[in-house]
Amino acid sequence: MTVRWGLIGASTIAKQFMINAIRAQREGEVVAVMSSSPERANTYAGENGIPRAVSTLADLLSAGVDAVYISTTNELHLEQALDAIEAGKHVLCEKPLALTSSDARKMVAAANAAGVVLGTNHHLRNAGAHRAMREAIAAGRIGKPIAARVFHSVFLPENLQGWRISKPEAGGGVVLDITVHDADTLRFVLGDDPVEISAFTQAAGMAGSGLEDGAMCIWRFKSGVIAQSHEGFTTKFAGTGFEVHGSEGSLFATNVMTQKPVGSVLLRTASGEEDLSFDREDLYT
C-alpha cells in the first residue's frame, strides 16, 4: 500500500535527507509540500519533483495525504501536528515536538485518541555506531555502566543560523536544537531514562536576543549512571564523540554525533582494544 506524504515546511532537512528517505521506502511517495510562501512552495516542489505545492495547511491536509512530515520552526509544531492528527493523518515531527513538555504531551494524547502514529525525527538512534554501542552495553561487554560523556559542540553553518540564533519566539537556541538530540541518544544507548538534570548555558558570540549558543549538562539516570554533555553552535574544531564507561570496560565513539553514517567505536577492556563494526546505512532511511 502506498503511503502518500505531505511536507509541512519547505525545509533544508527535508531536501537534504527526508525526501530521499521517504522515496527509499517501497511504499513511500511525496505528493505535496506546503510553505506559507506560495513562491517558495512552487520553487521547492519544482526542484524536488513534488507534484503539488500549497500555501496553507488546510490545502495540504486535503491533498490526499496519509502522513505528514513537519519541519517548520519549532513554535509551529504543536498547532500543525494537532491539526494533522485531527484530520486523521500520521505525523512525523522534527524535534522538539513542542516548546514545552506539556504541549508535547498534548500531541501524544491527541495521537493516541485518534489512533494515528506520532513520531519524533530523532535520527541519531538510527546510527550504526550508536546501535553498536547499545548492543555492546546490553551484552555486558563493559560490565555495569557507570558514566557517559557526549561531545556535540559544532559550528552552525551560516545557512542554518537564521531563526536558530535570533528568534526566541520560534524556539531558537542550542538546547532545543542539539541538547534534545543528546537526551534521546543517551536514553537510547544506555537503555535508561534521566531523572535529574542540571545545565549551564552561555552566549558565546553567535546567538542574540537572549538565546543560548552553548550548553553543558549533567544528567543522573534511573540506574545511577551519571553523564555529561556539551552542546554548541560556535566551536569549529571540537569534533564530536560519545563515551560510555563501565566497571569492566569503556566505549569511545568518535565523529558519531552527525547526520552522516560515519565515525568509529572503540571498545577497551582488560583484554585490549577492539574496533566495533557497524553498518553505514543512511540514518534517515
Q: What cell was used for 195? A: 531523572
Q: Return the CA Rg of the chain.
A: 20
Give me the mean pLDDT over the 95-116 stretch. 98
Average pLDDT over all residues of the chain:
98
Q: In what order do the strands lie in the sheet with 28-34?
A: 52-54, 28-34, 3-8, 67-70, 90-93, 118-120
Tens-place pLDDT, residues 256-285: 999 999 999 999 999 999 999 999 999 999
Tens-place pLDDT, residues 246-260: 999 999 999 999 999
Tens-place pLDDT, residues 217-240: 999 999 999 999 999 999 999 999
Tens-place pLDDT, residues 131-156: 999 999 999 999 999 999 999 999 99
pLDDT surpassing 90 at residue 11: yes
User: Looking up cell 495521537, which residue turns up?
Assistant: 111
**pLDDT class for 105, splitting at 50, 70, 90?**
very high
| pLDDT value of position 269 | 99
pLDDT surpassing 90 at residue 178: yes
Q: Where in the chain is the domain with CATH 3.40.50.720?
A: 3-121
**pLDDT class for 1, splitting at 50, 70, 90?**
confident
| pLDDT value of position 146 | 99
Give me the mean pLDDT over the 106-113 stretch. 99
Q: Which residues of 19-30 are buried (b: 16+ CB within 10 A; e: fewer)?
A: bbbbeeeeebeb
Q: Which CATH superfamily is domain 124-275 in?
A: Dihydrodipicolinate Reductase; domain 2 (3.30.360.10)
Q: Where in the chain is the domain with CATH 3.30.360.10?
A: 124-275
Q: Which CATH superfamily is domain 3-121 in?
A: NAD(P)-binding Rossmann-like Domain (3.40.50.720)
**pLDDT class for 174, splitting at 50, 70, 90?**
very high
| pLDDT value of position 155 | 98
Distances (CA, A) of 261 to 38, 55, 200, 278, 279: 35, 34, 30, 10, 8
